[in-house]
Amino acid sequence: MSTQTYSISDLSRELDITTRAIRFYEEQGLISPERRGLERIYSARDKVTLKLILRGKRIGFSLAECRELIELYDPRGGNFKQLNSMLVKIAERRAQLEQQMLDIEQMHLELDTAQERCEQALAATPKPSDSTC
């Protein structure tokens, strides 16, 4: 039974990320390809790990949070700890986004007020004459 492997260019193409990004995740210790001379050989697990990192980043997780979730994976004991941790992180991220939405709405109100005051002040200000001496 042969195990699926990937070159760095295969993963780059399939996951639509740069080879530089893949090397960065390798430097961070998140993936560890085999080496055949200078060639990196990535496993199916490396590919899954990269997919998890990319998904985590899309929903706003830090690289440290992604690492924590990846490290919780236990193929023998199932994903119970990993999934529970993910749910906690999702709830935390959702709360952060809700606060950001409230902050943005407040900023909109502040901008509306500032605009209205500027427009009122401008309307009350005499216009400069167009004539020149």
pLDDT (tens digit, 9 = 90+) per residue, 42-97? 999 999 999 999 999 999 999 999 999 988 887 777 788 888 999 999 999 999 99
So where are the chain's domains? 1-60, 72-121
The answer, yes or no, to whether residue 133 has pLDDT greater than 60, is no
Beta bridge mates, 48: none
Beta bridge mates, 35: 40
Dihedral through CA 39, CA 40, CA 44, CA 46, nearest 10? -170
User: Which band of pLDDT confidence, cut at 50, 70 and 90, is reported for residue 132?
Assistant: low
Task: Tell me what pLDDT residue 92 has.
Answer: 95
What is the value of pTM for the model shown? 0.73
* Rounded Cα distance, 35 and 26, in Å: 12
User: Which band of pLDDT confidence, cut at 50, 70 and 90, is reported for residue 113?
Assistant: very high
So what's the architecture of 1-60 in CATH? Orthogonal Bundle (1.10)
3-state secondary structure of 65: helix
